């Protein structure tokens, strides 16, 4: 009798621990992004997967290009038993709707890159968020342009700045405002900043927006281009090329440092895309996924707000900078 109980107890313990590891292996975390084709988001997914492999959870990757898809993604995740998800939403104003959907599915939500806002435009401070320190990184962009213009012997009065903008997204506005603030402080006349609103945050939309600006100002001597990300600045640089402006009359400084920028740096001849501020998809992918895992498995909630830094890189040193950030 005693022996039977002992055997049963051991069997029970074994089953328990097996069950425990099966449960751990079954932790499912959604990673929903607004632009799955953009290299930045591909990299975020890659690093989230890396965290999943190391820590033993599954990452469910979903692209959601509009609000309907984002809401459906949460239902889908709930239905397949995911316990949490990270999202870069296609529209930050969806904040309350996404939060309600997450609550209805009893699933934890964290945001990455673009912070949700409520009906009045105020950030949803209760939802843990990791984004870049947008104004500071924008200032790095502005300073790089000012320094490079000086190095080329230009007078800032002769410089036109293409401000590729997407002002409905706060992080986008903060980035370009950071850049123009520094440039104006350094002597750029306010009137030399030309707004080029893009209707989508991709290279093609930026190219169209910038082309209009350049065509409207044929007497500008030198151009600089700023925007939300590398894709925006590359669109503006392509626009300068289309109208025949020489690369050394253009200073484009992007934000990102993923493949879009790297492929540009790999071109045989320098283009007007002078530099990029490299941000870390590893932090945004690996860390958010790991934070979510700890939240689910240890009930340890992530920090409410994490702002990550950026590091300037040109075609000469981007490989070293990326290596230093562990994103090779
Ligand atoms: C926004 C942009 C992306 C990228 C991230 C970084 O979501 O659309 O291209 O710059 O921010 O946080």
This prediction has a pTM of 0.92
- Of 175, 163, 312, which is closest to residue 236 (Cα–Cα)? 163
**CA-closest residue to ligand 1 atom 12:** 113
Between these two residues, 200 and 8, which has the higher pLDDT value?
200
In short, whether 256's Cβ falls inside 6 Å of ligand 1 is: yes
With a cut of 60, say whether residue 17 has pLDDT above it.
Answer: no
Span from the CA of 1 to the centroid of ligand 1 (angstroms): 65
How far does the chain reach from its first CA to its final CA, in angstroms? 61
Q: Whole-angstrom Cα distance, residue 254 to residue 226?
A: 6
Radius of gyration (C-alpha) of the chain in whole angstroms: 23
Q: Give the confidence band of 280 by pLDDT, cuts at 50, 70, 90.
A: very high
In short, whether 40's Cβ falls inside 6 Å of ligand 1 is: yes
With a cut of 80, say whether residue 7 has pLDDT above it.
Answer: no
In short, whether 278's Cβ falls inside 6 Å of ligand 1 is: no
Going from the C-alpha of 262 to that of each of 50, 168, 313, the distances in angstroms are: 22, 28, 10
With a cut of 80, say whether residue 306 has pLDDT above it.
Answer: yes
SS (H, E, C) 250-284: EEEEEEECCHHHHHHHCCCCCCCEEEEEECCHHHH
- What torsion do the CA atoms of 15, 17, 22, 25 make, to the nearest 10 degrees? -170
Place of tokens 């283009």: 271
**CA-closest residue to ligand 1 atom 7:** 113
In short, whether 228's Cβ falls inside 6 Å of ligand 1 is: yes
Rounded to 5 degrees, what angle do the CA atoms 12, 14, 15 make?
Answer: 65
In short, whether 132's Cβ falls inside 6 Å of ligand 1 is: yes
With a cut of 90, say whether residue 12 has pLDDT above it.
Answer: no
With a cut of 50, say whether residue 5 has pLDDT above it.
Answer: no
- Of 212, 265, 205, which is closest to residue 232 (Cα–Cα)? 205
Nearest-atom number in ligand 1 for the CA of 279 is: 6
Task: Tell me the pLDDT of the chain averaged across its residues.
Answer: 94
In short, whether 131's Cβ falls inside 6 Å of ligand 1 is: yes
Q: Which residues have CB under 8 Å from 209's CB, separation 6+?
A: 164, 196, 197, 198, 199, 235, 236
Going from the C-alpha of 225 to that of each of 139, 254, 271, 276, 302, the distances in angstroms are: 14, 8, 12, 11, 36
- Of 131, 133, 71, which is closest to residue 96 (Cα–Cα)? 71
- Of 235, 80, 22, 279, which is closest to residue 72 (Cα–Cα)? 80
Span from the CA of 212 to the centroid of ligand 1 (angstroms): 24
**Mean pLDDT to the nearest integer, 140-146:** 98
Q: Give the confidence band of 1 by pLDDT, cuts at 50, 70, 90.
A: very low
> How does pLDDT run across 42-81, given as a tens digit for each residue?
999 999 999 999 999 999 999 999 999 999 999 999 999 9
With a cut of 60, say whether residue 19 has pLDDT above it.
Answer: no
**Mean pLDDT to the nearest integer, 75-103:** 98
**Mean pLDDT to the nearest integer, 195-220:** 98
The helix (run of H) or strand (run of E) holding residue 245 is none
3-state secondary structure of 238: helix
> How does pLDDT run across 144-178, given as a tens digit for each residue?
999 999 999 999 999 999 999 999 999 999 999 99
In short, whether 306's Cβ falls inside 6 Å of ligand 1 is: no
Q: Whole-angstrom Cα distance, residue 42 to residue 74?
A: 20
> How does pLDDT run across 252-265, given as a tens digit for each residue?
999 999 999 999 99
Are 303 and 110 a contacting pair, CB within 8 Å? no
Q: Whole-angstrom Cα distance, residue 54 to residue 46?
A: 13
With a cut of 50, say whether residue 132 has pLDDT above it.
Answer: yes
User: Phi and psi of 291, rounded to 5°?
Assistant: -60, -45
Span from the CA of 227 to the centroid of ligand 1 (angstroms): 11
**Mean pLDDT to the nearest integer, 6-23:** 48
* Residue to mutate (ligand 1; options 35, 41, 86, 114; most atoms within 8 A of CB): 114
Say what the pLDDT of residue 328 is.
Answer: 75
Percent residues over pLDDT 70 in the chain = 92
Given its phi and psi angles, is residue 301 left (phi above 0), alpha (psi -120 to 50 degrees) or beta? beta
Span from the CA of 11 to the centroid of ligand 1 (angstroms): 51
**CA-closest residue to ligand 1 atom 11:** 113
């Amino acid at each position: 009798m005693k022996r039977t109980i002992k055997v049963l107890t051991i069997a029970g313990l074994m089953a328990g621990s097996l069950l425990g590891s099966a449960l751990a292996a079954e932790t499912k975390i959604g990673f929903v992004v607004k632009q799955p084709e953009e290299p930045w988001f591909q990299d975020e997914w890659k690093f989230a997967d890396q965290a999943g492999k190391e820590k033993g959870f599954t990452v469910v990757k979903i692209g959601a290009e509009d609000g309907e898809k984002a809401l459906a993604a949460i239902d889908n995740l709930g239905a397949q038993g995911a316990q949490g998800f990270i999202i870069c939403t296609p529209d930050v104003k969806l904040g309350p709707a996404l939060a309600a959907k997450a609550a209805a599915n009893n699933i934890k939500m964290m945001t990455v890159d673009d912070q949700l806002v409520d009906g009045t435009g105020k950030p949803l401070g209760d939802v843990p968020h990791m984004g870049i320190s947008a104004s500071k990184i924008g200032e790095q962009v502005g300073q790089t342009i000012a320094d490079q213009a000086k190095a080329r012997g230009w007078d800032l009065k002769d410089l036109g700045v293409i401000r590729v903008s997407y002002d409905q997204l706060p992080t986008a506005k903060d980035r370009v405002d950071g850049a123009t603030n520094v440039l104006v402080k350094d002597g750029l006349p306010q009137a030399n900043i030309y707004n080029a609103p893009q209707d989508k945050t991709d290279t093609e939309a930026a190219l169209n927006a910038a082309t209009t600006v350049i065509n409207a100002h044929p007497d500008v001597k030198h151009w600089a281009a700023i925007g939300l990300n590398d894709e925006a600045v590359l669109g503006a640089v392509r626009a300068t090329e289309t109208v025949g402006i020489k690369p050394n009359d253009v200073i484009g400084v992007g934000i990102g440092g993923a493949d879009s920028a790297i492929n540009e740096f790999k071109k045989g001849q320098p283009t007007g895309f002078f530099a990029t501020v490299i941000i870390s998809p590893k932090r945004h992918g690996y860390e958010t996924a790991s934070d979510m895992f700890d939240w689910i498995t240890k009930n340890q909630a992530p920090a409410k707000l994490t702002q990550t830094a950026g590091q300037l890189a040109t075609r000469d040193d981007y490989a070293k900078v990326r290596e230093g950030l562990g994103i090779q």
